[in-house]
């Protein structure tokens, strides 16, 4: 599996991706999604395998990198590390920052490797199943993916659905791909080709975060000193091995479902670790089980999220939506045929993810202290630089200044969406699934000769529709318990 990686170029790409991912993960506000979107234009100079290896290594390392800032400055570097703060920072405050980071590093690595194994075994099975899928089944599957955003996505279920529908609506801008009729173009020629994925992602993640940072300039981080990262002791392993395995399973499963990937996985991993713990009272006060539960789960979601991305072309998280775009830009069509026609390409990706998990363990273990220093770069210097790269990166893909303005528009929109409790991730998922949803719906209607009820005669499609209904009903049931639906 790692044999295709034995080339100096690919190893270099993998090293760079892991280091870059760690830097992105450490910096609060950035992360693998934003970083992946920013680096996507640069991948145009690479061959497809190198490009996807770069993106996946950023994904794996970036997800882990968030834990370093979560433990040392009580600010998650990535949203997926939010649950790590709960016990990582209290443990660091007790003078055990090295132990906290050691546990985070080990559990992230185990979770990550576990999920790659899941990916290697389940992606081909899912791809084989996908041979049975026709247009109606793909439509039902895409609808199921979108409804899952409401069910297990982070935040309000209804707001997630609105954001998802908005994402699909964005995908309808431009010439209708079946009839070539302009939609929402308002006479602007540049909009005829539609709204690109990169301007929207960079806007919603990087530019909106820049605006968020402009409101937090008086925020002071309390930094905890770190001497060295320590490997967990025998006692720590005894305490946490079950938690790590459980969270790895939870994370991989959540990752496979199209939702917010690592963020949701880490929260569920953490709460399950607490539920099964013999010492639940220690949670929130510096429990190593809490750190292990959250970190194993969020890294396990990386491999899980790649399963539907590669097997079906349906992203499991926002970052895999960026990876999916990378695949499409480089002319690789994800789906069952990819497994049949280019297995060496897939083995390259699997191997790269495996090696990336080992690399971030080494870098994290020996270099966490150095990476933590990156957070010392002040926002007033960092963000203008990120802006420059965002603008040039967005411009470079189709060399259109309109794309830059679209990016700024989505930046402002993303800021207000977050301010009023709307997650931006469903917009990304909706945008990437939009063409699939509309295309398969219209083709299905042609197949069924306009008879919508024919959807119910297809067993696989019907199963997905029933699952979608369950996914929609689940938040209502859950809201009875915790009153959170809006």
Partner 1 sequence: MNNVRDKKRANKSLPFFFRTEFKVFFAIILVSTILLISTFSFDTVPPILNRGIQPATFPKGLLVLIIGLTSIIYYLSFKKPWKKEKSLPKPFFLTILSFIIFIIISKTLDFFLAISVLSIFVSYYWGERRIFYLLLVSIIFPLVVFIFFEMILGLRFPPGIITNLYYY
Helix axes 262-276, 82-91, angle to 10 degrees: 50
- Give 238's contacts (C-beta < 8 A, 6+ positions apart): none
Q: Does 419 help bind partner 1 (rule: CB under 8 A)?
A: yes
Q: Interface with partner 1 by CB under 8 A: which range of 67-75, 346-354, 439-447, 453-461? A: 439-447
Q: Interface with partner 1 by CB under 8 A: which range of 223-231, 280-288, 308-316, 406-414? A: 406-414
Q: Provide the 3-class DSSP secondary structure of residue 279.
A: coil
Q: Convert residues 254-293 into a mask of x (bound to partner 1 by CB under 8 A) and - (unbound).
A: ----------------------------------------
The residue behind tokens 């290594």 is 57
Total interface residues for partner 1 by CB under 8 A: 60
Q: Does 183 help bind partner 1 (rule: CB under 8 A)?
A: yes
Query: Shortest approach of partner 1 to residue 139 CB, angstroms?
Result: 11
CB-neighbour burial class of residue 322 (10 A; exposed 0-12, middle 13-18, buried 19+): buried
Element (H, E) at 438: helix 425-447
Q: What is the C-alpha separation between 17 and 39, in angstroms, rounded?
A: 10
Q: Does 168 help bind partner 1 (rule: CB under 8 A)?
A: yes
Three-state DSSP string of 349-386:
HHHHHHHHHHHHHHHHHHHHHHHHHHHHCCHHHHHHHH
Query: Shortest approach of partner 1 to residue 334 CB, angstroms?
Result: 24
Q: Interface with partner 1 by CB under 8 A: which range of 223-231, 311-319, 341-349, 395-403? A: 395-403
Q: How many residues does the chain have?
A: 486
Q: Does 442 help bind partner 1 (rule: CB under 8 A)?
A: yes
Element (H, E) at 183: strand 182-183
Q: Using alpha carbons, select from 72, 96, 97, 69 the residue that is nearest to residue 81.
A: 69
Q: Convert residues 12-51 into a mask of x (bound to partner 1 by CB under 8 A) and - (unbound).
A: -----------------------------xx-xx------
Q: What is the C-alpha separation between 57 and 86, in angstroms, rounded?
A: 27
Complex with partner 1: residue 3 or 385, whichever CB lies closer: 385
Complex with partner 1: residue 192 or 443, whichever CB lies closer: 443
Q: Does 233 help bind partner 1 (rule: CB under 8 A)?
A: no
Where does this chain bind partner 1 (CB under 8 A)?
41-42, 44-45, 156, 158-159, 161-162, 165-166, 168-169, 172, 176, 178-179, 181-184, 186, 210-211, 214-215, 217, 378-381, 383-385, 387-389, 391-392, 395-396, 399, 401, 404-405, 408, 411-412, 419-420, 438, 441-446, 450, 485-486
């Amino acid at each position: 599996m790692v044999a295709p990686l034995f080339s100096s170029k690919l190893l270099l790409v993998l090293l760079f991706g892991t280091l870059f991912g760690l830097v992105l993960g450490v910096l609060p506000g950035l992360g693998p999604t934003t970083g992946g979107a920013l680096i996507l234009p640069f991948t145009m100079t690479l061959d497809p395998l190198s490009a996807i290896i770069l993106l996946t290594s950023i994904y794996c390392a970036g997800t882990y990198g968030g834990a370093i800032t979560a433990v040392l400055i009580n600010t998650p570097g990535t949203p997926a590390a939010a649950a790590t703060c709960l016990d990582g920072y209290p443990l660091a405050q007790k003078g055990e920052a090295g132990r906290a980071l050691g546990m985070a590093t080990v559990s992230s690595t185990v979770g990550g490797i576990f999920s790659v194994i899941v990916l290697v075994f389940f992606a081909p099975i899912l791809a084989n199943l996908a041979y049975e899928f026709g247009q109606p089944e793909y439509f039902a599957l895409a609808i199921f993916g979108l409804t899952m955003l409401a069910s297990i996505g982070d935040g309000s279920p209804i707001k997630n659905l609105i954001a998802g529908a908005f994402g699909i609506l964005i995908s309808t801008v431009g010439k209708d791909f079946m009839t070539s009729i302009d939609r929402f173009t308002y006479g602007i020629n540049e909009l005829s080709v539609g709204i690109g994925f990169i301007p929207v992602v960079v806007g919603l993640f990087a530019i909106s975060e820049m605006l968020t940072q402009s409101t937090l300039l008086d925020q002071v981080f309390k930094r905890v000193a770190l001497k060295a990262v320590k490997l967990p002791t025998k006692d720590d392993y005894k305490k946490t091995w079950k938690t790590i395995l459980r969270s790895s399973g939870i994370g991989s499963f959540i990752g496979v479902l199209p939702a917010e990937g690592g963020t949701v996985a880490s929260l569920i991993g953490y709460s399950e670790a607490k539920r099964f713990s013999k010492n639940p009272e220690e949670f929130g006060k510096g429990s190593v089980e809490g750190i292990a539960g959250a970190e194993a789960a969020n890294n396990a979601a990386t491999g899980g999220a790649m399963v539907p991305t590669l097997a079906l072309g349906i992203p499991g998280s926002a970052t895999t939506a960026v990876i999916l775009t990378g695949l499409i830009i480089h002319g690789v069509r994800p789906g069952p045929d990819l497994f049949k026609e280019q297995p060496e390409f897939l083995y390259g990706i699997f191997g790269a993810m495996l090696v990336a998990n080992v690399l971030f363990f080494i870098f994290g273990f020996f270099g966490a202290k150095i990476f933590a220093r990156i957070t010392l770069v002040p926002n007033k210097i960092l963000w203008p630089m990120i802006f420059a790269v965002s603008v040039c990166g967005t411009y470079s893909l189709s060399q259109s200044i309109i794309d830059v303005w679209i990016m700024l528009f989505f930046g402002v929109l993303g800021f207000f969406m977050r301010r009023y409790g709307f997650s931006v991730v469903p917009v990304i998922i909706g945008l990437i699934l939009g063409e699939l949803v509309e295309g398969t719906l219209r083709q299905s209607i042609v197949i069924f000769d306009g008879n919508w009820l024919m959807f119910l005669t297809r067993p696989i499609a019907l199963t997905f529709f029933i699952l979608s209904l369950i996914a929609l009903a689940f938040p209502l049931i859950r809201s009875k318990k915790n009153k959170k639906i809006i």
